[in-house]
Every structure is written in structure tokens, then in C-alpha cells.
Structure 1
Amino acid sequence: MLFFLPYSSFAQNNGRVAVNETITASDNATPWLSPSRDFAFGFRKLGEPNLFLLSIWFYNIPDQTVVWYADDGNPVSVGSRVVLNPDMGLVLYDPQGKQLWKSPNVQYVIAYGSMSDTGNFMLLRSDSNSEWESFNYPTDTMLPTQIMQSGGVLNSRQYENNFRPGRFQFRLLLDGNLVLNTRDVQSNFAYQAYYVSNTYDPSNTSNSGYQVVFNQTAHMYILRRNNQSVDLTPNSVPNVKDYYHRATLDFDGVFVQYSHPKSSSENLGWSIVRMWPNNICVDNTISEEQGSGTCGFNSICRLDGSRRPVCECPKHYELVDPNDKNGRCNPSFIQICEENNSKSVEDLYDFEELINIDWPYNDYEQMNPIAETECRNSCLHDCFCAAAAFNGGHCWKKKQPLANGRNDPSVGVNGKVFLKFKRDDMLHPENKKKEKKDKGTLILVGSMLEGTLDVLVEDDMEALNDRKKLERFVTIALCCIQEDASLRPTMRKVCQMLEGVVEVPIPNQVSFTE
């Protein structure tokens, strides 16, 4: 026993991990630590009960910030395990032994693993050459000594406590430009950039960038092919001997370099060294004519005192997912062209008057010259009009969904937006009942063209882990609420569909109002 004690202690302190070593997800699981204990690899417990994230995090500070995570940020349940397999590298299993993820592109036999003091977890061959490194597969964060090559990408989280890939990207394009852009989460289609480094030179490719370097002194820069560099961080940054550093694409779309004191009697937290862009609410609307912008559709972006974006639903609108503060806002009413109501349109609809607020690129009709009253009335009597912007005799009518919403004094010079809403007190009781039903169906169906089923189950991770089953259950629910009763399945058929005995048809006659 005494013979093995020194070896065990040394193995723990030098960051080396033997093959076939295993960590099982539990409250008292011991992670694999770097020699200085600055970083840990293992299962980080999440806020949800019995859910864990296979990740790397800062270990020596109270705010044990996650800097890398496996399997696109999908959490696992208690009893899951990760194994350092000599033939496959890191392999993640669920409690039943089903393989969930493995380190990609492992071709040679792994001799051992290493959790380094830089925050890089490496799989090494017997000749000590690297076969796989977490630094080569970044998630939302870069650390000092880390380099991003052409084609590299960081994806933001969906939101603060959801590590799945979100709407924002940090990319070093093959042409040499470093960009920040939003994307369509379902298809990964990249929208136009709201930050561009301008390090692409079509006349001379040697002047174009090919690496983003976060060096050992915590300076970030773009390295051109001619070995010249373009600085991204200030000339002076907190000393790496006394401060931890990280650069993260946050869930709100802002790319931030942070510093944190290594030792302090107080938990001072992370401080901002630099952030890109300076005003994401405005910068993300300069050229982006598609997508929702910084915030979700129908939302309004403003900067707080720290110049971070805050997304807010306008009055008469509400978040689709209350957990996603930067997500989409839906109207709390249904606007349709045929009301079948004896009330006049003036009695049914009214406007909220908004100052210094605009939703660019949603215009479908422009009138000029026109008076303010005429602008309002034109939108009021147009069932397609969701809002009208008026400024200096110009009137722009806007349709749903409203995108790139921003609260900025520069857009409000003698201007205002009339946001249309339905008067709730004018609805008959039977219409309210129908509207509630239609809205619920709209959310259900919308959660299925958009892929946001997590809204329906309130981020129940256990349900989301079996997405195919969840989609089947939701489709069955849609079949059961079709307006035409003859199209609804019998209870026997429903039971068979739930058991997977018969195929679930796709309902094509579900009545709902867009």
C-alpha cells in the first residue's frame, strides 16, 4: 500500500489519465484535474436535478465557469459515464450503456490522456504526440495558448443555462475575415455578419488572415499569412500570472474577453477586458435583412448600463419560452382578416405608440407624403399590418413577424411606431374561447416548422433526450385536435400509435390561425 501511494499522488497531480479510467456522473464524482488544479474535466452538475454536463471548467475559483463541453452541450442523467478507451478515445455512455458521444477523428491507439494547466484536454499516443485535443474542437470559449484555424467556429449557448448551440457564431472564414453572425439553428444557415474584421484582401491573399491567436500573455489577434497581425485586444491586459483569462461568445451574441483574479479574499467575479461589437442592438441591423436579429422575432433590443443587450417583449406580446429571455415574442392576440364580428375595426383594434423604437426590413408598403392620422388609419384598416412607422411625412407599414427590433434614440428623430393590438374587452366570450384554442394550436404547430419542442415540455431534459418519441407524441396530439372530428383517430388507434405499433400520420387539416 505504501509503495503505491506516491505513484497515485503523482498521477493525480501531473494531470495524466490512464486508459480505461472512468468517471460516473454523480454528486460526488471526482473529476480529472490539471497539475495546478486550475482546470477540471468531468461531469459538471447543472441546475436541473440529476442532470450533468461532460465538460471542462475552471476549478480553483468559486465561479467554476465551464469553458468546453461534449456532445453539443446535451446534458446526461445521473449514472452516465465517460471512459478513456484506448481505441476510441473519450466515450460517453448513458446509464443503460448506450453510446452518446465519442471524441471524433481518433485513428491511432491512445496511450493516455492529459488535463493540462492551459485548459486543454489531450489524448496522446505512445510517442507522446497528440491524437485529439479539446482545443481543436472549441464550443463557445477560447483560452490563452489556443489557436483557431481558418474555418474554425464558436457557437453560443442557446441561453445562459442551456449549453446547446444557440443562434450566434464566431467564425474565421476561409477568405480570412473574422465575423460574428446569427444563424438559423435548425439548418445552420448563416445570416449576414454584424461584425467583420476586414482582414480579407482579394488582391493579395498573403494579406488575408488565417489564424485567430489567443497567446500565452492573453492577447488576441488575427495572424495574416504574411505573419503580420491585427490586434483584437488592448495593449495592456491583466497579467496572466495573477489572472485567469477566457474569451467567450456569450448567449446574447456579444464576444467578450474576460479576466478573473486567481487568488482573492473576495469573489470579484469576471471582469470585461474587451467586447465585440460595441452596440449589438444597432450593429446587428445594419445589413441583416433576414433572421430575427439580436433578439427573437417581435422583441426589442436595448443596451443596459454595461452595454450588454437586453431583449424585451412589447406590450401585448409575450415570450414563447419564458426561460429564453432573448427569444421570440408572440402576440397575446390572434389577428385575422375576417373577424365575423359586428364591431367596427376601430372598436376591435388600437395602437401602442412607441418612441425611439423600430423594426427595420419589415416594410411591405410605403406612403409619402402622408399625415400621421392617415398613416394610423391605413394600418388600422389593413388586416396584414402589424405596425406602422411614421417619420416626417413618411409612413412604412410592417408585417409579422417583426425583426431586428431595437430601442435606440438615433431612430426616433421626430418619428414613432404605432404597434397594433386587439382590444381584449371587445371580444365576445365565445371568441375568447376560440382565440385561446387557436393560440394553443398555433404554439403547438409552430413548435413542430421551427423545432422548438423544448418550449412545450419546459426544458424537461429527460423528455428531450428522446426527441423522436417526443415528436411522435406531439404529432399524435395534433391528430386528436383536428377540427373535423371524422379525421380524429379512435382511442384504440391512439393507443396503437403511442405503443409504436402503427405509423403516426402527419395531420394536414389541423385548423389554426397564423
Structure 2
Amino acid sequence: MACALPHHPLFHFLLLFLLPFSIVARTNGTVAVGTSITANNKDTPWLSPSGVFAFGFKPLQEKNLFLLSIWYYKIPDQTIFWYGHDGVPVSIGSKLGLTVDRGLVLSDPQGKELWNSQLILNNNVAHGFMNDTGNFVPVRNDSVNLWESFKNPTDTMLPTQIMESNGDGNLVLNTRDIPSNFAYDAYYNGSTSDYFNSSNFGYRVIFDDKGVMYILRKNNKIFYIKPQGMLFPTIEYFHRATLDFDGVFTQYYHPKTFNSSTKWTHIWSQLDNICVDIGGGEGSEACGFNSICRLNDNQRPDCKCPPGYSLFDSNNTYGSCKPNFTQSCLEDDINFAEDIYDFETLINTDWPTFDYEHFSPAIEAQCKMSCINDCFCAVAILGEGSYWKKKLPLSNGREDNVVNRHAFLKFRKRDPRTLPSPLVPETKKNPGTLILVGSVLLGSSMFINFVLIGAICQGFFLIHHKKSIKSCHGNHSAVETNLRCFAYEQLEGRLNTLVENNMEALNDWKRLERFLMVAIWCIQEDPSLRPTMRKVT
């Protein structure tokens, strides 16, 4: 297993709602065994000697909830950089104590143990110490540290902190499935392993006292995670490197002399463009499923739902999106696909993973036609002379000038039940109305196809020579109208006129009628009433 910074998304959500904590007197950083603090708004946290850092319960905006954490105590926003109990908040009245045999122990208001620092067995704690580096340690009588918050990192590293490798020596960043904590493929890899020479393996990630972060190999060679100049010396600035909620690993600085408007400022990031560089493997990546990621003016990712989609959780803008319509493979959706569905064109947009069909060469019209008549297709991507079809859910969506592909997003514009009847009844002068059936079943024999074509062709021929036939639509004189009028006449029992008394055709009277109806249906005056070729066949 490679080095990686642990990450708990709940923590990042809670960071947005931190409340200020009251200023208390400085201490020498020492915490006696048997000392405890309670989750409320009264108990003083354990402070480092200079009062820069605090360890205790940070109140959250949610009423009566607290986070066991270590934070910058002096700066205005009191930034948290470590948390216990996997970042899960605790209720008011919970207690943290320092014990001889267990080290740190967190319990709920009823005294049930929730978390402990898991000391090595048979080691007794003499006292605890909150360092001015931000590291809390339970200490043995001989000054040996029995446990360290620095050696149990959460989402942040501070100067002087070291993270040991427990795998192949690569520093990696990856997304995880929250319920199972399963790690998906890495989207960043420090590439400091060497299976042919183990001395080239990276074995420590070091954030040194000068604010420089690097991987130390076993042969003592250094691999800088991000080359940088010393523009913000640690004697004047606080530094932290944090795996932010959006998956970007970023180093920040903050002046030690500050006012109320002073904030953390970005030095470098890994990766530079999380929307594009995250790579695209399993999972939803930077944004949720069916969402689109794009960088904002601050070079941070914004997530948005595509047209026709909305958030599953309106309070989580980085979450997944759901379609506001139903796409199905029911018969009507297949038969009337071109009437029911249309496309929204998204420029420089792609969902690069999980294609299920790929065609090349291709043009836009071909791309759209193939997708709209495929009941599985949710979006078609066109670029570089090729197109790809994708099914829901869509993952790793991105919008950026470097994408250079167009997405044709399929959406439902109408329900098949609202479509007009494919064949419109025609009224003749004589009493009664001829109602043409809209559902036509076609055979596939050579003879039947010949009859269909012959019926239309002969109809045009007869119309050309019988201009005296009156239109059945008032004063309209279009060829199509006259053809329908003529064909209706034949349906009144004179189909033999169309087939010249061909007995094979006349013996299959019902099928002949169906084909004639199809011919009429195909030449409706209103093009929207004509069937698609899929429906015809």
C-alpha cells in the first residue's frame, strides 16, 4: 500500500460552519495524566506553550455538536488541521481524558468509549504535551513519545511532520468510496518506486521546518513534490499542506502577523487542473455522477448539472445529478425516438470514461442519429473524427478549452402519448368516414416490396393522366393530396386496379391494404405526421 493522506468528507463539510472559540490564558503545553475536558462552550482546550495551537473540542454550527480536533488557535479563522474519531462529530457532554494505560480516550456523555489513541501495550503515560509544532504526544517517563498526532495524519501536514511509507514507496492521491472506504485508482502518483532497485524506493514524505515538501528515497536522494522558491520563510509565515475536499493537494501560507482580513494563500497545488488531470477511472472523480467539472477564476473546481438534470441533494453542489426525465427502451420510445428525444450541444465538454461504442470516421449527423435511435445512449461525444456513445451514469465530466470535444446530451422533449396520430382520417363526399389504421405491420418478401413501390408509382402515373380527378381537400392540388385521394378510391374495393388483377397479391388482400396505407402514410402533407424509416420497416 502506498503513502496517502487519509481523507474524510464529513470533516470538510463541517469546516464551512466553524464557530469562534473564546480566548483563554496560555499554558506550558503540559497535560497531566487524569486531566479531561468536556465538549461544551466552557472548558479550555489544551494549548501549546506559545498558545498558537489548541487541542480539544471545536464547536460546530450544528447545535450541541463538537469535533475532537487540533487547530490554529491564534489566527482569526482557527483552521483545523487534525481530527480524531474519523472526523465524526460528538454531542455536547462528551469527554476526552488522558489515561495512564490507554493514552487519549474519547467517550460519549454516558461514558461509552468512542475512540482512543491505541498505545503500545505495557507502556505507561507520564504526561501529555501539546507542542508548538502542532503535534500532540503522550510521553513516557523516559521522554519517549508513546503516540503522536503527527504520525496519525488526517488531511493536513505541517512543517516538521514526517509520513512513513507502508507500501511501494509512491505518494499517491486517489478517490475513495465512502461506505466501503475502497480506494479507486490513483489520479496522482509520485513515481518514486523502482522494482529493479529497492534503494530508489521512497520511504518518507517530509514537510521540513523550512516549509519544503519532498519524498526521501532509501538512498537519501530527494524527490521534490513541487519545486518552489523560499518566498515565504516559516519564521514569518505559518504553512500547511492540505488534501482539500475537491481532491487537490495544496500548500498554503499565512502570515504570523495578521489582521482580521488575513487569509490562507495558495503556494502550489497538485494537480493544477483537477477537472482535466484527475484522469478518469472508477468512481465519480472531482464531481458527482452525471455532473460537469470546470475551474473557476480561483482555479478551484465548480460542479454543475448539465441541462435537463438536477442535484440529488440540493445542499451538496459537488454531488451527483439526476435526469429530470425518463429514458427507456419501451416500444414507444424506440418507435418514436426521433419525435420524443432531442439533443443539447455542450461545447468543449466530455465524459471520457465508460464508452460502450466507438465509431470512426464519423460526422455530427451520423453521431446524433446513431444515439437518438439507441435507447441505451445518454450522450454522444464527437471529436477528432470519431464519436463515442455513453450510458448513464456519466462520470468524470469536464468542461475546458483543452477538451476539444462536443457532447450531444440526449433529453426527452415529449411523451409518446402526446404525439399526433400518424394517419389522419380523410372525409369523402359520400357518407361515412374512412379511418386509416396507424399501426402497420410489414412483411419482407420481394413481392410485397414490389407492390408497395408499384402502388405509389402507378398512383402518380394515373394522377398525371387523370387531371379531372377532383381533390378531396377542397382547392388543394398537390400531387401528394391527389395521390391520397386516388388511393382512398382504390381502398373502396378496387385494389385490383393497382395490381392489375395480380392473383398472388389479391390473395393476400389484408397485407396489400396495409402496404397501401403505409404508402399513404409516408406522403402525408404535414411532414411531422410521416413515419420514420424505423417505424416503416
TM-score, normalised with respect to structure 2: 0.70
Q: Does 1:219 align with 2:216?
A: no
Unpaired runs of 5+ residues, structure 2, are: 1-24, 419-537
User: Which residue matches 1:131?
Assistant: 146
Paired amino acid for 1:254: V
The 5 Å alignment of 1:239-388 reads: 239-285=233-279, 288-338=280-330, 344-388=336-380
CA distance, structure 2, for counterparts of residue 341 and residue 203 of structure 1: 57
CA distance, structure 2, for counterparts of residue 149 and residue 225 of structure 1: 12
Deviation readout 1:183-236 (Å, 9 max, x if unpaired): 222333322222222212222211221100011111111111111212234131
Match of 1:141 among 139, 156, 168: 156
Shift in alpha-carbon separation, 1:49–1:339, aligned structure 2, 3 A: farther
Deviation readout 1:257-312 (Å, 9 max, x if unpaired): 11101112343100111111111111112xx3322222211111111222222221
Q: CA deviation at 1:427?
A: 7.5
Shift in alpha-carbon separation, 1:339–1:124, aligned structure 2, 3 A: farther
Contact 1:237–1:273 at 8 Å: present in 2 too? no
Paired amino acid for 2:47: L
Unpaired runs of 5+ residues, structure 1, are: 1-10, 152-173, 429-514
Q: Does 1:114 align with 2:106?
A: no
Shift in alpha-carbon separation, 1:111–1:185, aligned structure 2, 3 A: same
SS in 2 for 1:378: helix
Q: CA deviation at 1:118?
A: 0.5
SS in 2 for 1:421: strand
Q: Does 1:85 align with 2:107?
A: no
Q: Does 1:150 align with 2:165?
A: yes
User: Which residue matches 2:184?
Assistant: 191
Match of 1:398 among 373, 380, 390: 390
Q: CA deviation at 1:425?
A: 7.4
Deviation readout 1:111-131 (Å, 9 max, x if unpaired): 111111000010011222111
Paired amino acid for 1:282: V
Q: Per residue, is there more strand in 1 or in 2?
A: 1
Q: CA deviation at 1:28?
A: 2.4
CA distance, structure 2, for counterparts of residue 73 and residue 341 of structure 1: 47
Paired amino acid for 1:372: E
Q: CA deviation at 1:149?
A: 0.3
TM-score, normalised with respect to structure 1: 0.73
Paired amino acid for 1:423: K
**Pair member with larger Rg:** 2
Identical pairs, percent? 55
Deviation readout 1:9-64 (Å, 9 max, x if unpaired): xx962100111111111122210000001100000011211110000000000010
Paired amino acid for 1:228: K
Deviation readout 1:81-121 (Å, 9 max, x if unpaired): 11112121111111122111111234211111111100001
Shift in alpha-carbon separation, 1:129–1:59, aligned structure 2, 3 A: same
Shift in alpha-carbon separation, 1:54–1:342, aligned structure 2, 3 A: closer
SS in 1 for 2:317: coil
Deviation readout 1:399-421 (Å, 9 max, x if unpaired): 11111111121222xx4111112
SS in 2 for 1:411: coil
Contact 2:353–2:395 at 8 Å: present in 1 too? yes
Q: CA deviation at 1:426?
A: 7.1
Deviation readout 1:412-471 (Å, 9 max, x if unpaired): 2xx41111122367777xxxxxxxxxxxxxxxxxxxxxxxxxxxxxxxxxxxxxxxxxxx
User: Which residue matches 1:421?
Assistant: 411
Shift in alpha-carbon separation, 1:131–1:400, aligned structure 2, 3 A: same
The 5 Å alignment of 1:479-490 reads: none
User: Which residue matches 2:534?
Assistant: none
Paired amino acid for 1:226: N
RMSD between superposed Cα atoms in Å: 2.0
Deviation readout 1:295-353 (Å, 9 max, x if unpaired): 21111111122222222111111222233322211212222211667993233322111
Contact 1:257–1:272 at 8 Å: present in 2 too? yes
Contact 2:250–2:267 at 8 Å: present in 1 too? yes
Contact 2:333–2:340 at 8 Å: present in 1 too? no
Q: CA deviation at 1:370?
A: 3.7
SS in 2 for 1:135: coil
SS in 2 for 1:188: coil
Shift in alpha-carbon separation, 1:231–1:366, aligned structure 2, 3 A: closer
Q: Does 1:99 align with 2:108?
A: no
| Deviation larger for 138-147 or 204-213 | 204-213
| Deviation larger for 26-35 or 245-254 | 26-35
Runs of 4+ in 1 over 4 A off after TM superposition: 339-343, 424-428
Contact 1:219–1:237 at 8 Å: present in 2 too? no
CA distance, structure 2, for counterparts of residue 319 and residue 383 of structure 1: 23
Paired amino acid for 1:252: D
